[in-house]
Structure 1
Amino acid sequence: MSEQLISATKSAFKKQFSSNAERVFLAPGRINVIGEHVDYSDGFVLPASIDKYICFVVKASGQNEKSRFFAADFDDEFSFDIYDKLVPAEKHWANYLLGVCHAMKQRGAELKSFQIAFSSNIPMGSGLSSSAALECGFAFILNDLFSLNFTKKELALIGQQAEHEFVGVKCGIMDQFASVFGKKDHVMMLDCHSLNHKYFPAELGDFELVLFDSCVKHSHLTSGYNDRRKDVEAAKKIINEKYPQVLKFRDTTFEMLNNIKEEIGEQPYLRTFYILKEIKRVEAAAVALSKGNMITLGNLLTETHEGLSKEFEVSCDELDFLVSETSKNKGVLGARMMGGGFGGCSINLIKKDAVDRVSENIKELYLKEFGIEMKVYPVKISDGIKECTDDAI
């Protein structure tokens, strides 16, 4: 699959820029096994890079030339002067890249002109973090191309800053960190407070992770995401005032939260209650994975969906249907919505010999209920961003 993507992106570069690219890079999408919406709340998350990518082909250009992006999937180009002051553009997709340049220049990087074409086989709008792959893949390239000497951690933070300042989504750090630090056949347990992380073997045995794409993306993702973050931040502020001894939000107890329930209000309470429970589920899931306890892992996935749907309220009818119907099938240990919410994919832990049967059953039911063709993505856990040489392709 990646070979076809690389070949197509190289061809797009040559057609657009009338020359051959010099280097090729792959930036992966990611799944989050568990730990949704806790990455901006001092929580732990359990992400992994997957074998779906944005491919970048790149060439440094002359000093006086404009820098040029070509989004092959959109057949759209954006050019700008790298030496100018950078501001968000009208083309939304270009802002992920401009934001990276801006963040690097703020850190003193001396950037030069370049030509880049990129294309993707990460399903857009499906909760697989194509945006983080775009930001961090591009940051990785500039860092390498111009010998900027940023660390991997700095590259992840640069990607996050780009999304905050040029795209307008106040995302946490998980997606960017997973894209940069992913390790084949391992999940990463990331402490979103300290950014310390450790790897756990992803030994699923007779089971595999399969994504069911609802093929819907409701328009209130960005506003809904930011609104829920505001709810949690409001609760945090009151917790900090009432309990100054709590230095990390994740150390808040349910008793503390219940004591201030009336003060913070019902909605922020529910959001915060979900966050605290989810942080504990991540720790339990890491232990379950390390012991190969798939039954426990599946139960935790299903509990997370219930919280996302009823407490954090970021699910939708389509995702609730997918999770509910999938869970009824023999061979399924757990299912939940994945990503920011309001559409995208469910992630499902299914016995290998049941994947085809379950997938076809759910596709049929989903089509009948919503008139939408559900897509199925089996995924394998891969390495993070990397350069591709001819030998490696």
Structure 2
Amino acid sequence: MEKLINYTIEAFQSVFESEPESIFLAPGRINIIGEHVDYSDGFVLPAAIDKYICFAVRKVDNSENCTFFAKDFDDSFSFNITQKQSPVSQMWVNYLLGVFNVIQESGKKIGGLQVAFSSTIPMGSGLSSSAALECGFAFILNELFDLNLTKKDLALIGQKSEHTFVGVKCGIMDQFASVFGKEHQVIMLDCNSLEHQYFEANIEGYSLVLFDSCVKHTHLTSGYNDRRKDVDKAKKILWKKFPEVEKFRDFSFSMLDEVRAEIGETSYKRSLYLLKEIKRVEKAAKALSEGNIKYLGTLLSETHSGLSTEFEVSCKELDFMVEETLKEEGVLGARIMGGGFGGCSINLIKSENVDDVIEKITQKYKVDFGIEMKVYRVKISDGINEYERNEFII
């Protein structure tokens, strides 16, 4: 972490020829279980992780400009804070402009700003670098310009930014985890009401390890929005037939069966996966709280099967990776994580077996696909925070 912070500070110094006044860290996230249910009234079980976007920031008095430098892209962008903004061709910029747009439309004012940022969150791997970017910037504006926004406000601003300026109809989970994360704890989040509770991640003796397939995706091109449409079609017909049901998660499997012919097989499979996954999250939270790590692993593997065959967001690389990982000694569960069509698998492994599993799966994956798999050992961390400069030595 200190290396990232110093690297970002040096980037700021080089570009702006001055010292940053503040340092902020916005984490990525893992989701233990509960994939694609965050836009369907479901429960999810995410946690912030020790992979971050670091922002080095300085307020510029009497300036109408906000200037960003994205160190990892070696790219800059500046805009006038008094003007209304529209999406631009640089995709990374839109996550930030979208945040500014939401705050501007609320009538709140910000001043001039210089921002340099860099990241250890691997992009396109399902670890939510986009949510960290959005919510990190919203957090910064809230802190520096006394906007009096709550943590919930910040998460919702990040989500709205992605909806309006990026064009991805994401749920709220990623943003919520980045803002609300706590070290050594997972969040059971009701994506309908945003009520949440924390559970101790009591997995001593076991490790959460991410295997990056290095198959890159973006939600815009991966069919994410198509899955939303499939589910929305089913919801519309379900609520027409059963108007007394308040939340999607309260539909029964028998209700879904009743409309199967009307909604079609594709929408049926999507909805069946979601209803089963919502129930798995509740079971997983209970298993985690009771230290029943073996059952937690079983649930993870069941989720992968559903994502692959029912929701159909996996791919041959991830299916191979999960299938081979589950054969190894000490592996309790494995599944694809994130939006799908590439990215990472999340693996629950006995700590004593981790090195051996990594070595074997890396080799098998290289033989079958010619790709060097990347491995991320992650720890559950705190959410977005400002860090004091005197904690770090340049």
Same-fold call, TM > 0.5? yes
Q: What is the distance in 2 between the residues matched to 1:203 and 1:116?
A: 37
Contact 2:63 2:111 in 1 (8 A): no
1:49 maps to 2:43 = no
How far does the alpha carbon of each residue in 1:221-280 deviate from its partner, in whole angstroms, 9 at most, with x for none?
545000000111110111110001100110000000000000000000000000000000
Q: What is the distance in 1 between the residues matched to 2:124 and 2:63?
A: 37
Contact 1:221 1:340 in 2 (8 A): no
Q: What's the secondary structure of 1:97's corresponding residue? A: helix
Report the number of matched residues. 392
| 2:22 corresponding residue in structure 1 | 23
CA shift for structure 1 position 390? 3.5
Q: What is the distance in 2 between the residues matched to 1:16 and 1:132?
A: 25
Change (3 A) 1:221 1:98: closer
Spell out the pairing of 1:345-360 with structure 2 (5 A cutoff). Answer: 345-360=344-359
Spell out the pairing of 1:41-80 with structure 2 (5 A cutoff). Answer: 41-80=40-79
CA shift for structure 1 position 115? 0.4
| 2:364 corresponding residue in structure 1 | 365
Identity %: 66
Contact 1:205 1:292 in 2 (8 A): no
Q: What is the distance in 1 between the residues matched to 2:146 and 2:318?
A: 44
Q: What is the distance in 2 between the residues matched to 1:159 and 1:222?
A: 20
| 1:160 corresponding residue in structure 2 | 159
| 2:243 corresponding residue in structure 1 | 244
CA shift for structure 1 position 391? 5.1
Spell out the pairing of 1:81-160 with structure 2 (5 A cutoff). Answer: 81-160=80-159
Q: What's the secondary structure of 2:375's corresponding residue? A: strand
Q: What's the secondary structure of 2:215's corresponding residue? A: strand
CA shift for structure 1 position 214? 0.3
Report the RMSD for the aligned CA atoms in angstroms.
1.0
Q: Which amino acid aligns with 1:377?
A: Y
Segments of structure 2 that go 5 or more residues without pairing to the other structure are: none
How far does the alpha carbon of each residue in 1:27-54 deviate from its partner, in whole angstroms, 9 at most, with x for none?
0000000000000000000000000000
| 2:200 corresponding residue in structure 1 | 201
| 1:259 corresponding residue in structure 2 | 258
Q: What is the distance in 2 between the residues matched to 1:30 and 1:335?
A: 17
CA shift for structure 1 position 353? 0.6
| 1:382 corresponding residue in structure 2 | 381
| 2:228 corresponding residue in structure 1 | 229
| 2:288 corresponding residue in structure 1 | 289
Q: Which moved more, 1:54-63 or 1:277-286?
A: 54-63
Q: What is the distance in 1 between the residues matched to 2:142 and 2:74?
A: 26
CA shift for structure 1 position 64? 3.2
Q: What's the secondary structure of 2:148's corresponding residue? A: coil
How far does the alpha carbon of each residue in 1:59-118 deviate from its partner, in whole angstroms, 9 at most, with x for none?
011333421000011110001101101100111110000000001111111111100000
* Superposition misfits of 4+ residues, deviation over 6 angstroms: none
Spell out the pairing of 1:266-285 with structure 2 (5 A cutoff). Answer: 266-285=265-284
| 1:324 corresponding residue in structure 2 | 323
Contact 2:29 2:177 in 1 (8 A): yes
Q: What is the distance in 2 between the residues matched to 1:175 and 1:222?
A: 19
Change (3 A) 1:127 1:151: same
Contact 1:48 1:381 in 2 (8 A): yes
| 1:177 corresponding residue in structure 2 | 176
